[in-house]
Structure 1
């Protein structure tokens, strides 16, 4: 009986001990699990957990440093810490794109950002040549890499135009390149004809454009000619080339009429440098037209008796009145084909009165008693009256011009 009691007591104590141990293990395991941090790690832009700090579990208070990924540089430290199974940020640094130095200046060109907004890792720039220049490099783009800009600086060279052939009669002047070298963008060639009697057909100035082409084809020189205007059957002409050959520059044509006809127009017409005739071709008209009374000429009288009708070829002579003078000494007009030729003009004298001189404080430099009228073309010299000084605005020797004279003055 005593043995049975002992056995029951022993078994009961052992069961209680096992139960206590089990509870103690569970509690200890739960405590360990509550203080551990594991993956996933926090997400940090352009950064990752440093390789030497990677492990399955992190105890409470363990640090978790981050490193910037390739192409980025740290701006301060980035560190997290395990805090009660959660990751807490303790250092607030960040990762920024690695900057590149300012690209070198490109002669005759420039660059623009085509990818990115700043000169940092991954940014792409594109180079463009100035107007009139062309890209000679294989690559026109550069990328900001870890060790700086990729590719070498592109090269731009000025566009040129090939010097074409010109006719032997054409001369290039002012800008003609030496030794047949290509002409650069913006340069201009000037063309002239080497011989008289030739004219440029095309543009006189040709410029090398930004496309590497000439602004116009090279011109040529061709002989200056005048068109054969209509010649009336009654007109006789001398100097025309035979057949239908063009009339060359400088050619003079001489026109005439039969004895019973009169030439209306100029007798000699010349082919000018601009390819035009110096005058229209004349005509021949019959000499059977009469003229009426000669035209009235102011300040002139007909010499002799005036008639109501005049035959073709008749002359009428005029004489200017006192103090009036014939212009160009032309004193006669002729009846030609029913019309009067050579109009007559009498030029007016100038009036010089004492009143004109007194109000200007002047007098004749050499006394001219009774002088009142001065004929056209004559000159009078004035002088200041006593105690008056000359004005330098008007000369004191003044001519008469068709009734007008510019009087000087003294003050």
Structure 2
């Protein structure tokens, strides 16, 4: 019979012999199980007595979780229950199930504990210094732990608080720490004005209206601009209706050829056979005219002598005695110094384009932080200077993508990434007018950091496999002309053609401030509308409820002047603020001081920056 066993054995059994049976392990019997030999057959003396599966009782509840019966429908021998943790909790025990065995439930009831909150890296922001410098003591954080963070200049927290607090919950950090781009509506722009009431700052995604003076046009029909990561878009400009006149190129051709061109139109320049183009091969029409200026076609071009050395920097490649027209040279700054101007100069008909300069960067970085699934290799220091590198390594089954070096730049770490080793990239579909240029046979899948080369309209391009996607995405788009050279700006961009998606930054000369986006992008062969560099003396006084308009008012007294500061020094300071990408109207209000003639031999009023935070005042020298 099923599930029975006996220890009474003999052979053979006679008619009338009886045998008593017990149940197998894991089963229990109800009554006495006896079988009798009756005319050669075994007959159960008590037919209603049987073996049943041994019950184990309730398996036990799990705190912060639940269980499910997956084998059987009762808590009896052979049953299995599987435990799960609630959302926001994680299993501590190595086994997530219990089996009902002959001697009861296997192992202990599993345990669940709340998930910890990991160290958080905030784009364009940072944690309070005590968390950054002692992260091993604070992270991972337990549920209920509260930390605070702030944003870099030019960015705002979602609630606009300077030091908001976030709490570790079972779902992670709440609210999610974010730093949104801040756009300033108070800076003036030519021939127009913003329309806003009490809102002094605008965050990324918020929209503002503006109006233009009579006879001027807005860059978009609605007369609105949206705050984006790159500033106001479209850039809030009001321009008189502008056209660019047609050009002539001696010993060459221009395409397309027209008598007049509209802003954003792009021209291509070609020289006749036997002539060399001196200057850009393309130009774009802007509200201020053509940029860059059109080239010349020459039969003979001059060579260049060795380029000049720069202070606190050097030339990357070996130095030659002579360079041909079109040759380029790249510069780099020493550690602790930052470059102003284009790092690449070009020999153009015997003359080099302007060389860059290297200036001291005093901002420093703290210890290199951990990254998801990776960390800094070797011993780390408490402080690093601008330009220093630190090697990183990934945990097992993860691989560094793009670069294994973290670099300290302007007081912030530029960090590498660790990707799952098993992540692959499928062979990409090549865009129209593109062909693969790889010398090895193509594969169906590629590993992280694999590089594919392809040709777009005779131009060689590359894409790298990074965490399952190709960067940059393989595509063939028109090239943009060399960047616009706006009046009163320092040339910081390389004098070359640019691919769609590439960006350039702008920096104004001293005594000028940037009006418009700090950077623009190349989109489908055309540059976005660039900013302007406005004479700082034209910056108007902004009305504020926080600060008085007129200095010396008894009801709203202005801060007293102490040792003072010269107008040129102050303008240098204002230039420094804009060069660093900060908004002068973010934490400062601009007012005007007129000093006695005995103190300042200038007719232009002194522009004064009054800090909301420090309340420090500078006056007249």
TM-score for both structures, normalised by structure 2: 0.28
TM-score by length of 1: 0.40
Higher helix share: 1
